[in-house]
């Protein structure tokens, strides 16, 4: 029987359509059909100035908007050859790790909810509220912050911000213990996730998987540690790696990552350097508002950057970061003008989605939901 | 803004391991190379792409076992119009390399690399959907993001940003 798990479905986490060929409860073939959220972001980027693309990037992978910002901004800074001050780099790392925790909380809540553990969902979103308040405090926006700009950060962090982050970082590890209490030793969770949707390391690498999906199968590769960017080489952290390649291994990887991320946030707050938050590049980075209101040159630079953009030397760059889902990359091609010639987003989820047939074919229908949850799919990133 | 100038001379870049391997296998395969902003790009001859990719994947010193991305850039109106770009990563050696293939504008076609890395499946479908480049040997070359009955290839430069509606 051909069954359509249509784009409107509570468990597909977005508008993912799966065409399932089933024989009783067993899956014979599974074929994802995507494109329901395609909004032509890559095409739109070609019509905007470099700084105008930053708000577009937030909305691609909407569960980790700051990570998208970071990747694009690092790519353009590489094209320009800008030096970013250390405080901006440490703030970027700190907010990036908070975003990782944010995204993993959504993953854990919705994944558990699909499998049937409804309490975990509410617990996770309670912590997520605290993190969203932190984002609102620093940038004015809960989700689509656009806080990282080309050359540094958009605004100075307000007074009292680091105290709040420290307070959250002290409370959070106990919450992860709560989630693990509910799930890790739970026999029902074990029966739904151990041995389910297994994938070997060779298949995962050949199919282009990355992030916890790859690490759950035993491949020890993390872009933050192995190809570091934005000051990650200054941080000490472990990379959790699973061995079995099943849903449970990926779950343990992500829970471990939440613990490591909060430790990194504490390290960032303790060691936050003093200094400017923007690079010194008057033609690229907007001047301070006070200077813009009092000095003529600053006003002219501000006007020119906003209305005409800044020309970026011709060339191309591929910058990849470790998003909560895997390797997110931005390939930016410049032809020397103020608008990017081509911006391509390498989506971690698009590659991870290719694993779904090997994970699910021959297994039960109920395992498809667990498999989709364990890949941690976000359709915004797949469809762009 | 301290940008070093790009090195585009193949003679100077011959010592890079990936370029050296490709030149040792078949000197015709490498049409040019560029080292810019700390990234190496290799222009590969169109008909030899699949074998060049297999060679790089199976290399003993630096196996490029991970295909990060396949994408395309449209340089309309200059010819060759399309440039299909492959981003490779070697997980054991943590090295990246970029392969580029230039194609003409009229019916651009290329060999698929799905036999080398299965990851190319969706990436090539997306390039076909949005640019119109056909990949010979792809197991299921259909539109991926646009609806099945869409006409035109939206990411081409002669397709308007607002679309045709």
**Scanning every residue of chain B, which has its alpha carbon at the shortest distance from the alpha carbon of A283?**
B1
Query: A81 vs B74: CB contact, 8 Å cut-off?
Result: no
Neighboring chain B residues of A350 at a CB cutoff of 8 Å: 122-123, 126
Among candidate residues A245, A190, A177, A186, the one with its CA nearest the CA of residue A213: A245
Q: What is the ipTM of this complex?
A: 0.93
CA angle A60, A74, B33 (to 5 degrees): 105
The alpha carbon of residue B153 is apart from the nearest alpha carbon of chain A, in Å, by 11
**Is the peptide bond preceding residue B80 cis, with omega within 30 degrees of 0?**
yes
Question: Phi/psi of residue A345, each to 5°?
Answer: -100, 120
Q: Return the structure tokens found at B70.
A: 């396949």
Collapse the DSSP code of B69 into the 3-class scheme (helix H, G, I; strand E, B; otherwise coil) and give the result: strand
Among partner residues A80, A226, A318, which is closest to B87 by beta-carbon distance?
A318
H helices, E strands: number in chain B: 4, 7
Q: What pLDDT sits at residue A118? A: 87
- How many residues would you count in chain B? 165
How many Å is the Cα radius of gyration of chain B?
17
The answer to whether B1 contacts A82, with C-beta atoms less than 8 Å apart, is yes
* A220 at B interface, C-beta within 8 A: no
Q: Which residues pair with A316 in a beta bridge?
A: A333
**Per-residue model confidence (pLDDT) at position B134:** 92
Which residues does chain B have within 8 Å of residue A316's beta carbon, measured at their own beta carbons?
A: 36, 39, 41
Contact B71 A344 (CB under 8 A): yes
Residue A281 has pLDDT above 70, yes or no: yes
Inter-chain residue contact B155 with A316, CB threshold 8 Å: no
- pLDDT, tens digit (0-9, with 9 covering 90-100), for B14-49: 888 888 888 888 888 888 888 888 889 999 988 989
Domains, chain B, ranges and CATH?
A: 10-136 (3.30.460.80)
Residue A220's closest chain B neighbor by CA? B91
pLDDT of residue A307: 93
The pair of structure tokens assigned to A182 is: 């509910």
User: Which domains are delineated in chain A?
Assistant: 39-383 (1.10.645.10)
Q: What is the model's pLDDT at position B78? A: 84
pLDDT-based confidence at residue A86 (cuts at 50, 70, 90): very high
The average pLDDT across A114-119 equals 87
Distance of CA B132 to the CA centre of its chain: 15
DSSP A150-190: TTEESSPPPTTHHHHHHHHHHHHHHHHHHHHHHHTT-HHHH
Count of CA atoms in the C-beta half-sphere (13 A) of A328: 28
Chain A residues touching residue B91 (CB < 8 angstroms): 205, 219, 221
Query: pLDDT tens-digit profile of A174-186?
Result: 999 999 999 988 9
| % chain B with pLDDT above 70 | 98
Kindly state the tokens that stand for A302.
């501000």
- Mutation target vs B (from A35, A46, A332, A335; most B CBs, 10 A cutoff): A35
Instruction: Give the pLDDT confidence of B108-165 residue by residue, as tens digits.
Output: 899 999 999 999 999 999 999 999 999 999 999 989 899 888 888 999 998 888 887 6
DSSP per position, A212-244:
HHHHTTT----HHHHS--TTGGG--------SS
Q: Which of A36, A37, A43 to mutate to test the interface with B (most CBs of B within 10 A)?
A: A43
User: Do residues A185 and A117 lie in contact, with contact meaning Cβ atoms separated by under 8 Å?
Assistant: no
Confidence of residue A244 (pLDDT cuts 50, 70, 90): confident
Residue of A nearest to B4 (CA): A81
Distances B136 to A331, B49, B124, B141, B143 between C-alpha atoms, Å? 25, 12, 10, 9, 15
A34 touches chain B (CB under 8 A): yes
How near does any CA of chain A get to the CA of B73, in Å? 7
Please list every residue in chain A whose beta carbon sits closer than 8 Å to the beta carbon of residue B68: 208, 318, 320, 327, 329, 346
Residue B20: the pLDDT is: 86
Q: Does A344 have pLDDT greater than 70?
A: yes
Question: Is the Cβ pair A316, B36 closer than 8 Å?
Answer: yes
Give the N- to C-terminal CA distance of chain B in Å, as an integer. Answer: 43
Q: Which chain A residue has its CA at the smallest distance from B119's CA?
A: A207
Q: Which of B36, B71, B91 has the CB atom closest to A331's CB atom?
A: B71
Which of the four pLDDT bands, split at 50, 70 and 90, describes residue B3? confident
Q: How confident is the model at residue B2 (pLDDT cuts 50, 70, 90)?
A: low
Helix (H) or strand (E) holding B21: helix B17-25
Instruction: Say whether pLDDT at B87 is over 90.
Output: yes
Please check the confidence at residue B1 and state whether its pLDDT lies above 60: no
Q: Which residues contact A318 (CB under 8 A, 6 or more apart)?
A: A75, A329, A330, A331, A346, B39, B68, B69, B87, B96, B98
CA distance A55 to A45: 10
Distance from CA of A56 to the nearest CA of B (A): 15
Distance of residue A202 Cα from the nearest chain B Cα, in angstroms: 10
Q: What is the pLDDT of residues A64-73, one digit of tens each?
A: 999 999 999 9
List, as own/partner pairs, every contact residues A360-363 make where C-beta atoms lie below 8 angstroms and the sequence separation is at least 24, other chains included.
A360/A27, A360/A30, A360/A197, A361/A27, A361/A28, A361/A29, A361/A30, A362/A26, A362/A27, A363/A26, A363/A27, A363/A196, A363/A197
């Amino acid at each position: 029987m051909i069954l359509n798990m249509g784009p409107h479905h509570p468990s597909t986490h977005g508008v993912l359509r799966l065409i399932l060929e089933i024989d009783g409860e067993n899956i014979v073939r599974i074929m994802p059909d995507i494109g329901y959220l395609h909004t032509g972001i890559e095409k739109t980027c070609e019509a905007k100035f470099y700084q105008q693309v930053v708000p577009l990037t937030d909305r691609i992978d909407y569960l980790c908007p700051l990570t998208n910002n970071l990747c694009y901004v690092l790519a353009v800074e590489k094209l320009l050859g800008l030096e970013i001050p250390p405080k901006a780099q440490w703030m970027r790392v700190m907010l990036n790790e908070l975003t990782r925790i944010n995204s993993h909380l959504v993953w854990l809540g919705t994944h558990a909810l699909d499998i049937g553990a409804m309490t975990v969902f509410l617990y996770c979103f309670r912590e997520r509220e605290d993190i969203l308040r932190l984002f609102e405090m620093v940038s004015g926006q809960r989700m689509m912050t656009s806080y990282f700009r080309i050359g540094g950060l958009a605004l100075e962090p307000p007074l009292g911000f680091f105290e709040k982050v420290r307070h959250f970082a002290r409370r959070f590890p106990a919450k992860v213990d709560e989630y693990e209490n509910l799930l890790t030793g739970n026999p029902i969770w074990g029966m739904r996730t151990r041995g389910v949707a297994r994938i070997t390391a060779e298949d995962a690498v050949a199919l282009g998987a990355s992030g916890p999906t790859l690490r759950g199968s035993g491949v020890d590769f993390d872009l933050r540690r192995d190809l570091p960017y934005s000051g990650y080489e200054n941080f000490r952290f472990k990379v959790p790696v699973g061995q079995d390649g099943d849903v449970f291994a990926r779950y343990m990887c992500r829970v471990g990552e939440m613990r490591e991320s909060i430790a990194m946030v504490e390290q960032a707050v303790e060691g936050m350097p003093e200094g400017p938050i923007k690079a010194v590049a008057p033609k690229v980075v907007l001047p301070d508002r006070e200077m813009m209101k009092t000095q003529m040159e600053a006003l002219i630079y501000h006007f020119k950057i906003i209305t005409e953009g800044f020309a970026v030397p011709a060339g191309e760059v591929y910058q990849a970061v470790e998003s909560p889902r895997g390797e997110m990359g931005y390939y930016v091609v410049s032809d020397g003008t103020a608008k990017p010639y081509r911006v391509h987003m390498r989506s971690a989820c698009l590659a991870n989605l290719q694993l779904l047939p090997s994970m699910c074919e021959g297994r039960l229908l109920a395992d498809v939901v667990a498999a989709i949850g364990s890949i941690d799919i976000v359709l915004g990133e797949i469809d762009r | 803004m301290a940008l070093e100038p790009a090195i585009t001379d193949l003679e100077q870049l011959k010592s890079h391991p990936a370029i050296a391997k490709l030149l040792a296998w078949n000197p015709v395969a490498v049409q040019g190379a560029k080292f810019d902003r700390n990234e190496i790009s290799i222009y590969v001859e169109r008909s030899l792409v699949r074998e060049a990719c297999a060679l790089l994947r199976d290399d003993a010193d630096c196996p490029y076992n991970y295909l990060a991305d396949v994408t395309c850039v449209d340089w309309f109106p200059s010819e060759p119009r399309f440039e299909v770009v492959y981003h490779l990563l070697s997980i054991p050696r943590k090295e990246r390399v970029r392969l580029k293939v230039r194609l003409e504008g009229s019916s651009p076609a290329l060999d698929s690399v799905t036999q080398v890395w299965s990851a190319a499946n969706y990436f090539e479908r997306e390039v076909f959907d949005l640019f119109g480049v056909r990949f010979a040997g792809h197991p299921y070359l259909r539109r991926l993001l646009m609806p099945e009955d869409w006409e035109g290839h939206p990411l081409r430069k002669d397709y308007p940003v607002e679309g045709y509606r």
